[in-house]
Structure 1
Amino acid sequence: MAEREIVPFGDPVLRKIAKPVTELTPKMLRILDDLVDTLYAEDGRAGLAAPQIGFLRRMVVMDCGEGLIELINPEILEKSGEQIGPEACLSYPGYSGIVKRADYVKVRTLTRAGESVVLEGTGYLARCIQHEIDHLDGVLFIDRIEGDQFYHEPSKQKADLLKALKLTQK
């Protein structure tokens, strides 16, 4: 297990679609462990997807305040309701934006033991799940920002969303 470097905004890997995990090999489980180590090294923030450490496979780890959740090949089965709130991203340190998401999601995923399970979440957990699955599809939270509600957190000032989007379109 090891902490990995997080891919920063502007890196084209963040715009690529991650491939499914076809077999839970020791290498895949090591990557999953590395994701966990990296997430918690960043103060246990909400979540981290494999593309954010440069590994294009459909794997996510999250801790939205209720303990570790690992998602392998997650697929959203249902979503409903609506919530609007702030989001940030480890690949965009120091920035946040206001994003609209479903308030409820139902997801089918594999466990690290290869078992298929269904996970349901509302509120913040639903937001985290959607944010991380977006990473697997090359979609970033800045793509979903409501209007121009993009902020530089240290200064609490609005940031240039169009400039941020151009940096990630390369």
Structure 2
Amino acid sequence: MLTTNEIIREGHPTLRMAAKEVDLPPTQEEKDTLNEMLQYLINSQDPETAMKYNLRPGVGLAAPQINVPKRMIAVHIADETGKQHSYALLNPKIVSHSVEKSYLTTGEGCLSVDREVAGFVPRYARVTVKATTVQGEQVKLRLKGLVAIVFQHEIDHLNGVMFYDHINKQDPFHIPENAVAIER
């Protein structure tokens, strides 16, 4: 079982590397790693399990965060309507996005960052992502709101980008032009 201790922290060189594409079909080890990443997120959101295993709650996890420099992400989050989105994906790629921006009013956090980072992180309000599921199925996901933000955060990890790289250094609480505020 994946634990919080296996998540590497900011400053680790793997977090700044571009992750490698996963050859398809994935190996059993790659599938197991991806399934463990998703299970971590599910377990971390269950208060009893999280307390028992001292898991830090998360909604997304990218393979580089567990020191596996491969293009794999897991996302487990309920959207603004309460609908659950649960994905274990290989080689996710944003193929299109809106002009309109969005941002979380509370700012973003990260399982690899053990400190509060103040500021708004501008993201696209809507994205279309193509990827391969852990079962080998090609998917095209049209995402918006909170789920779109989580996907952009995780895909950034695959490119060696941290969320705070997007925060305006001169004015951390600058509201991006034409941006939708998203409550969390």
TM-score of the superposed pair, with normalisation by structure 2? 0.75
1:16 and 2:17 aligned: yes
Q: How far is the alpha carbon of 1:52 from its aligned partner?
A: 0.2
The answer to whether the 8 A contact 1:3-1:41 is kept is no
Alignment partners' CA distance in 2, 1:67 and 1:125: 8
Q: State whether residues 48 and 132 of structure 1, in contact with CA within 8 Å, keep that contact through their aligned partners in structure 2.
A: yes
* RMSD of equivalent CA atoms: 1.6
- The yes-or-no answer on 1:89 pairing with 2:110 is yes
**Partner residue, 2:145:** 123
Residues 57-104 of structure 1 show CA distances to partners (whole Å, capped at 9, x for unaligned) of 100001121141122101111101111221110001342441000000
Q: Which one is further off, 76-85 or 124-133? A: 76-85
Asked if 1:149 is matched to 2:172, the reply is yes
- Uncovered stretches (5+) of structure 2, i.e. residues with no partner: 46-56, 79-83, 174-184
1:64 is paired with a residue of what secondary structure? Answer: strand
Q: Is contact 1:58–1:136 with CA below 8 Å preserved after alignment?
A: yes
- Aligned with 2:38 (options 36, 39, 58): 36
1:68 aligned to 2:86?
yes
Output the amino acid matched with 1:18.
Answer: A
The residue aligned with 1:55 is 68
Residue-by-residue CA offset, 1:3-46 (whole Å, 9 max, x unaligned): 14110111111000111110311111111122123323433522
Q: What percentage of residue pairs aligned between the two structures are identical?
A: 38
Residue identity opposite 2:58 in structure 1: R
Aligned length in residues: 149
Aligned-partner Cα distance in 2 for 1:116–1:132: 19
What displacement does 1:136 show? 0.3
Question: d(CA) in 2 for partners of 1:7 and 1:138?
Answer: 13
User: d(CA) in 1 for partners of 2:112 and 2:42?
Assistant: 15
Using the TM superposition, name which of 29-38 and 5-14 deviates more.
Answer: 29-38
Per the alignment, in what secondary structure is the counterpart of residue 108 of structure 2?
strand
8 Å CA contact 1:89, 1:95 repeated in 2: no
TM-score by length of 1: 0.81
Aligned to 2:120: 98
**Unaligned regions of 5+ residues in structure 1, if any?**
151-170
Give the number of the structure whose residues are more often strand, by fraction: 1
